[in-house]
Structure 1
């Protein structure tokens, strides 16, 4: 009981001191990931403007990625936020539906020209439970996922994690959704280009 109260107090103080704030798209981990983990030389990002039907429902941003590597496969990046537990605990699957402030984590994923996921990294974990989803080994399961693949399901193609159910389901659903969106946007863009728009 004392530990739970202390954890709640620390989380509350952190939110008051730092504020929940918006996603930090210029977080130092983003540039470091592109340079070190993705081996990009002089990486540059430019926000990808989405059609109106997509933009309203996204708690994040898509980017075009360019660099000095002539053989670089990475072409797009998404940075976004996933709400995990409700502040105060994760004891029920419906915790988020009960209102109140949610805990969260921010993550990025990079795609190649075919909109296949090449890497996923959680870089700002602000939740008291479920931190196992930040493990590189677990996140590797998403590599290769693409907009034409409907086979992304926790417990079947994605390992579930005891004690991190909400975080696992949250990031899996978000990756599935954002991969579908980038696929549709890039497909729409290439159709408009080939039609002369």
Structure 2
């Protein structure tokens, strides 16, 4: 076997181990408020503080979703959803973490009241490889999607050469978040 095949195999195993250990929800207080503010301004064009709501995920909702998860080992008990008033009404933001090759990265999923994705922004990527997931041409593939089945690696979301692990990871994480947000009530 050549070194590339072995490296890819090891990286895939590491991703599976990380994916099974990452809960995926990050508390907004653990994030840099300036990064969030800059991201909100970039995505929605507003300079307003995000208001956070803690949403409980019921056991019955968790049971509906559990067998369908791709990135998370289990459905979180709570999710933190931020709201911001914009010229287009209330918009929502959900912070999440996902595994990369040997680290984790933090990103924000943006969506509207109809639970349609309006943007994704990678806040903190810690690897030397795979950072291309923060390029707009990649992130734009998620816009307009509202159902988990629309967010599939190499189907609805195309790969980027050199960033396969991170692309698969963020795609599967967003898939899982869509499963969750489509089963919960959004804050007003």
1:155-174 to structure 2, matched below 5 A, reads: 155-174=154-173
Q: Deviations over 1:32-89 (max 9, x none)?
A: 12124312252432123222435x634994314033x4x3344321101101113xxx
- Contact 1:81 / 1:106 at 8 angstroms: preserved in 2? yes
Candidates 30, 44, 62, aligned match of 2:80: 62
Alpha-carbon spacing, 1:108–1:60, altered in 2? closer, same or farther (3 Å): farther
- What TM-score, normalized by structure 1, do the two folds share? 0.65
**How far has the Cα of 1:164 moved from its partner?**
1.5
CA distance 1:134–1:36, shift in 2 (3 Å): closer
Q: Is the 8 A contact 1:47 1:62 kept in 2?
A: yes
3-state SS of paired residue (1:114): coil
Q: Find the aligned partners of 1:138 and 1:60 in 2 and give their Cα distance.
A: 29
For structure 1, the 5+ residue unaligned runs are: 1-21, 87-102, 191-197
Contact kept, 8 Å, 1:59 with 1:80, in 2: the verdict is no
CA RMSD of superposed structures (Å): 2.7
* Structure 2 runs not aligned, ≥5 long: 1-25, 63-73
Residue 110 (structure 1) aligns with: 110
Trace 1:102-181 onto structure 2 (pairs within 5 A): 103-147=103-147, 150-181=149-180
Match for residue 15 of structure 1? none
- Using the size of structure 2 for normalisation, the TM-score is 0.68
Q: Contact conserved, 1:59 with 1:81, CA < 8 A, in 2?
A: no
Query: How far apart in 2 are the matches of 1:185 and 1:175?
Result: 15
Change in CA separation of 1:173 and 1:73 when aligned onto 2, cut-off 3 Å:
farther
How far apart, in 2, do the equivalents of 1:59 and 1:34 lie?
26
| Structure with greater contact order relative to length (CA < 8 Å, sep ≥ 6) | 2
**Separation in structure 1 between the aligned mates of residue 47 and residue 184 of structure 2, nearest angstrom:** 26
SS in 2 for 1:66: strand
**What displacement does 1:116 show?**
0.6
Contact 1:82-1:105 within 8 A present in 2 as well: yes
| Aligned residue pair count | 148
